Amino acid sequence: MSLFLNHIPDKPGVYLMKDSQGKVIYIGKAKSLKKRVMSYYPHYHAERTTCHAERTTCHAEFISASLLPKVSALTSKIKNIDYIVTNSEVEALILEANLIKLHLPHYNIRLKDDKKYPYIKVTVQEDFSRAFPTRDLRDKNSIYFGPYTNVKTMKRALRSADKIFPLRKCRGKLPSKVCLAYHIGECCAPCENKISKEKYQEIVQELIDFLSGKSKKVEQKLKTEMEEFSRQLKFEEAAKIRDRLKSVQSIVKKQRVVFTKPIDVDAFGLQRKRKKACVVLILIREGRVLGSEHYILQIQPKVSSGEIIRAFILQYYKNAFFIPKEIILPALKEKEIIEHWLKRKIFIPKQGEKLGLVKLAEKNAAVYLETEKVEKIPKALEQLQANLKLSGLPRRIEAFDVSNIMGKYAVGSCVSFINGIAQKSNYKRFKIKTVKKINDVGMIKEIVARRVKYGKLPDLILIDGGIGQVRSAREEIPENIPVYGLAKRFEELYTKDGKIISLPKDSLALRLLQKIRNEAHRFAISYHKKLRDKPKSLLNEIPGISDKRREALLKHFLSFQNIKQARIKDLQKVPGIGKTYAKQIHNFLHSSTAL
């Protein structure tokens, strides 16, 4: 055996194949890393090998022969391979799913456009839990239901839940008074102790059962509660439970019965067309069809159906809170190891009612795939790729800017555009923490470093500024991501090496970059103004203090900070501010979140 293969262990793990720019283009898992890599490269000679404990990068020059065309297309672009050893094949399976989500390799099957589908989040770690839509799954202490491909379906489910399970809607700490949600029956007012913590947690569990599809269980529990209140002659409480019960029953009636037994099943169907595939999921809970979801995937043309389903199952169930006891699939590669991971029974039916469900899902998948819109690539992105000689199309572009007044109220912004369209849900804003003086270069460096810690990075990064800002940003960004500065003075692009790139003034590429840069500037300015105006708005919130008294305070103390730091006896010296108002102002400002 050659030196290269001798350094790859005969152990389970995950391998990451990279191109000449260090970009991950394929991720796979193997029961034996050595045998799997050998299968890709039956003939080769090692050029150089570097190994570091359990995580290793192997650089080699490969000579492949007798490979399938799709494998040859992949191996021709591979320049080095990383691998991570795991304790078991199941561990490798989970790690593979996480790494594919992180890197989105070109040759892996993946959800189209890395779209972040919405989930319903239940904050079970809070004393008084909340339920709300989210696309952020980083909080591991909460429970998530989804993903929902149809936002309207998700919102409809949440609206139904709000009426049946009156949990609080407010964020953070409980307020001091009840809000409108209580008066319309959509909150049980834990803020005024109108419900005990134990009873509240019971409602939270009912919500979790409802979102898991356990409507019958919820229905039975509500019936029992209603009857108990009636026996105790608590008719008002019984009436409230009756209304909740009716809402649950109306939802159950709309669900089509497909099994005589109250079983929980996920049934999948698959259709494919060239480089796209559609997977439809039919959710069956307690023998009734709860609903369906469809997912568009990007695939390679000759990949098998079993591989497509395997890749999808890994991504779909990775964050699932509830997994039914039975899963019905049209095909599946590595069925046994997937069953071991999910601890569920997987069926690939050949006949009967289970096959009928697969056919129904496949029929719907064909419709969705046919109606899937052909994605148009904006000409501005094609121009950018050509003018800047980028290796790929810069579909996702993020821009950074900072705003401050003499170093005060310093903030930063990050805006995100996908295919030339602003994605405001991905915008981020930052309060500058490490830079205390006038230093735009240092501020850019800080906000870029903080952004890099959040998830997948874009295809191109734009900085509102010149060479200094670009160089500071470049230090924090991986080398495979292009970074340019766009200063307003000459509307030219800058690189870290001081190179200046002039795009035609009427080009679509330059107009797009200007639009993105200007949006980053607007977003930074708006946040800066919000912080700067906060002191003024806080003064306006002090009960009983007129405009005339506010003007007198500012005239006497010159700044908000001086007012906040003033003692009660100092406040009394201001014309029109007596002892009562002085105490009121002092108490309010010291109990607020003023800057």
Q: What are 389's strand-pairing partners? A: none
Q: Residue 403 corresponds to which tokens in the numbers above? A: 């705003």
DSSP label at residue 416? E
Yes or no: say if 328 and 347 are a contact pair by the CB < 8 Å rule.
yes
CATH of 3-108, one of 3.50.50.60, 3.40.1440.10, 3.40.50.10380, 3.30.70.141: 3.40.1440.10
d(CA 464, CA 522): 11
- Please identify which residue in the block is written with the tokens 């990075």: 457
pLDDT given at position 447: 95
d(CA 302, CA 107): 12
Q: Residue 241 corresponds to which tokens in the numbers above? A: 């439970």
For the chain, 595 residues long, give each residue's pLDDT as a single digit of tens.
344 456 788 888 998 888 887 888 888 888 888 888 888 766 544 444 444 434 444 444 443 434 455 566 677 778 888 888 988 888 888 888 888 877 778 888 877 655 567 888 888 888 888 888 888 777 878 888 877 777 777 787 787 787 788 888 888 788 878 887 777 777 888 888 888 888 898 888 888 887 777 777 787 888 888 888 888 888 877 887 787 777 777 766 655 565 667 788 999 999 998 888 999 998 888 777 877 888 888 888 778 899 999 999 988 888 778 888 899 999 999 899 999 999 999 999 998 888 989 999 999 899 888 877 655 678 999 999 999 999 889 999 999 999 987 767 789 999 999 999 999 888 999 998 898 888 999 999 999 999 998 878 999 999 998 999 999 999 999 988 999 999 887 889 999 888 999 998 889 999 999 999 999 999 999 888 777 665 555 666 676 677 788 778 877 877 777 888 888 888 888 888 888 888 888 887 776 444 3
pLDDT given at position 5: 54
Yes or no: say if 318 and 338 are a contact pair by the CB < 8 Å rule.
no
Q: For the sheet containing 119-122, what is the strand order?
A: 131-134, 119-122, 143-145
* 380-532 CATH fold: Nucleotidyltransferase; domain 5 (3.30.420)
Residues 6+ apart with CB under 8 A from 530: none
pLDDT given at position 54: 47
- Please identify which residue in the block is written with the tokens 């400002």: 589
| DSSP-assigned letters across all residues of 124-184 | TTSSS--EEEES----TTSEEE---S-HHHHHHHHHHHHHHS------SS--SS--HHHHT
The residue type found at 419 is: N
Mapped onto helix, strand or coil, the DSSP state of residue 395 is coil
Backbone φ and ψ of 216, nearest 5°: -65, -40
d(CA 157, CA 58): 49
| DSSP-assigned letters across all residues of 535-584 | HHHHHHTSTT--HHHHHHHHHHHSSHHHHHH--HHHHTTSTT--HHHHHH
Mapped onto helix, strand or coil, the DSSP state of residue 438 is coil
Give the CATH class of 541-589. mainly alpha
Largest CA distance in the chain: 93
Yes or no: say if 298 and 375 are a contact pair by the CB < 8 Å rule.
no
Output the CA torsion sign for 425, 280, 314, 97: negative
Helix (H) or strand (E) holding 387: helix 379-388
Backbone φ and ψ of 327, nearest 5°: -125, 125
Helix (H) or strand (E) holding 73: helix 69-75
* 265-371 CATH fold: Nucleotidyltransferase; domain 5 (3.30.420)
Backbone φ and ψ of 207, nearest 5°: -60, -45
Residues 6+ apart with CB under 8 A from 399: 414, 415, 417, 461, 462, 463, 464, 516, 517, 519, 520
Same-fold call for 3-108 versus 265-371: no
Q: Residue 374 corresponds to which tokens in the numbers above? A: 């052909």
d(CA 11, CA 31): 6
Query: CA 126, 131, 134: angle at the middle one, nearest 5?
Result: 105
Q: Would you kindly state where each structural domain of the chain is located, as residue ranges?
A: 3-108, 109-213, 265-371, 380-532, 541-589
| DSSP-assigned letters across all residues of 3-56 | HHHHTS-SS-EEEEEE-TTS-EEEEEEESSHHHHHHHH-SSEEEEEEEEETTEE
Residues 6+ apart with CB under 8 A from 119: 133, 134, 135, 137, 144, 145, 146, 147, 148, 154, 319
DSSP label at residue 257? B
What angle in degrees, to the nearest 10, is found between the helix axes of 508-540 and 547-557? 100
d(CA 194, CA 446): 46
Long-range contacts of 193-199, Cβ-Cβ distance < 8 Å, separation of 24 or more: 197/127, 197/128
Mapped onto helix, strand or coil, the DSSP state of residue 111 is strand
Residues 6+ apart with CB under 8 A from 410: 402, 403, 404, 431, 432, 435, 443, 528
pLDDT given at position 536: 55
CA distances (Å), 546 to each of 536, 540, 585, in order? 13, 8, 12
SS3 helix, strand, coil % of the chain, rounded to 5? 40, 20, 35
Kind of pairing between the strands at 55-62 and 44-52: antiparallel
